[in-house]
Amino acid sequence: MMPIYIQLPLGLILAGLIAAAAYFARALNRSGALAAFILGTVIFGIGGLNWAVLLLAFFLSSSFLSILFKHQKKAIAANFSKGSQRDAGQVAANGAIAGLCALLFPLLGQPVWLWAACAGALAAANADTWGTEIGILSKSKPRLITTGKPVDTGTSGGITWTGILAAFSGSLLIGLLAVLVKPAAITNSLENNILLPIIVTLAGLAGSLIDSWIGATNQAMYYCDICQKATEKHPLHGCGNPTRLLRGAAWLNNDWVNTFCTFCGGLLAALIAYSLISSSLPLVSDGGVDMMKLTVTSPAFAYNQPIPQKFTCDGENKSPALTWSDIPASTRSLALIVDDPDAPMGTYTHWVVYNLPPSLVNLPEGIPVGKMVNGGSQGINSSRTNGYFGPCPPAGKPHRYFFKLYATDIEPTLPDGLTSERLAAALSGHILASGEWMGTYSR
């Protein structure tokens, strides 16, 4: 990680360059450029490159669509409170939640749910923008999200299938980037790499639909008696005549609606990620008085040498024998995680074992699926079974398989069915010592 005294100035320079470029490209007005500079400095300078990627993906894609379809919006421009140039209010509405997440991330110990919250908020902003910009191209008439009643194109709360598909696509873009550039604090596991984009995408789409719902119910809408049209503009319509409040709360303008949109997208992503997305578990000891290194070996294969076929999916798929020593005296239970960090979609977990008694010094070959006779528990691996699943890599270079043993101060009463991520969360802060044995396999 880059030192903050270097990263912050670089972030300030990068934010300034992008804000200036956006201003001269007429994507931002002066207040919008200033707000983007401040927001960019926080996200680029404190969050770093991965946070910057999410913000840039939203800003560049949404600005491109706004400029690309500017001519198609001319006929309904009078319905919108603001033009295609974003001002400070719009920048804050779309990016303030993400900026707050980037600011709090290092202060709160890099919780993974804050990364999900940032991604969810930007996914909601992107979904809303894509849904609006592309939705107006729909050949079918929009329908109010609350009643299904046909409304004019550009009416707040009006949705089309074209717009919903566009919103999903905009949210999906952020969801995919969220896993591609995720921080090191998030475990690079198959489960996380599948769950994270789904969570962010659905949270972003939900946020955009909430935006439409508020737009159809409580957002301030005005009426021009001269043009006889509903509009978001106030106090003057595009024709220059005054508008009067037609429905909704006068303070609830489009910027506030967008703020609720990003807040809901971020909150929903954070709540789900808090339960499902796991943090990285270090191999080294992370607590306790008797910190030390365990000695782990296997009579089945030498360290960093090929694993015999009978212990893989190409053979009998049985677990190899393991032995260990140097268990700290204060150990209350042992845990074992076997995984493949070279799997193409993230670390693949092959075996999860925990609640092992500290007096145990080995595991015999061929442990069957389910409850263990020695009182230990087998968790859920990436193949969704509660037992050992041997190496089964795609054809190509050899993969590495790590057998990682942990001595913990946790009583052997953890519940059945834990995944490696949930076990890692339970062990965090309770590891007294650890060790590993590694073998390879290729097909």
Q: For 49-75, write each residue's pLDDT tens digit.
A: 889 999 999 988 988 887 776 665 555
**Which residue matches tokens 């960093």?**
304
What confidence tier does 340 reach under pLDDT thresholds 50, 70, 90? very high
Q: What is the mean pLDDT of residues 7-25?
A: 87
Strands 143-144 vs 221-224: parallel, antiparallel or unpaired? unpaired
Q: What domains can you pick out in the chain, each with its CATH number?
A: 4-276 (no CATH), 292-441 (3.90.280.10)
Strands lying side by side in the sheet with 362-363: 295-297, 322-325, 362-363
The pLDDT value given to residue 70: 65
pLDDT digit string (tens) for 263-312? 999 999 999 999 888 776 554 444 444 457 899 999 999 999 999 999 99
Which residue type does 238 have? G
Q: Which residues contact 13 (CB under 8 A, 6 or more apart)?
A: none
pLDDT digit string (tens) for 106-136? 888 788 899 999 999 999 999 999 998 898 8
Phi-psi category of residue 370: left, alpha or beta, with phi > 0 → left and psi -120 to 50 → alpha: left
What confidence tier does 9 reach under pLDDT thresholds 50, 70, 90? confident
pLDDT digit string (tens) for 157-182? 889 999 999 999 999 999 999 999 99
The residues pairing with 378 across neighbouring beta strands, listed in sequence order, are 353
pLDDT digit string (tens) for 182-191? 988 788 888 8
Q: What is the mean pLDDT of residues 365-381?
A: 87
- pLDDT of residue 78 exceeding 60: no
For residue 213, CA distances in Å to 55, 216, 221 come to 25, 5, 14
Q: Which residues contact 112 (CB under 8 A, 6 or more apart)?
A: 183, 185, 186, 273, 277, 278, 279
What confidence tier does 377 reach under pLDDT thresholds 50, 70, 90? very high
The pLDDT value given to residue 292: 73
- pLDDT of residue 155 exceeding 90: no
Comparing C-alpha atoms, which of 118, 90, 108 is closest to residue 29? Answer: 90
pTM confidence score: 0.74
Which residue type does 323 have? T
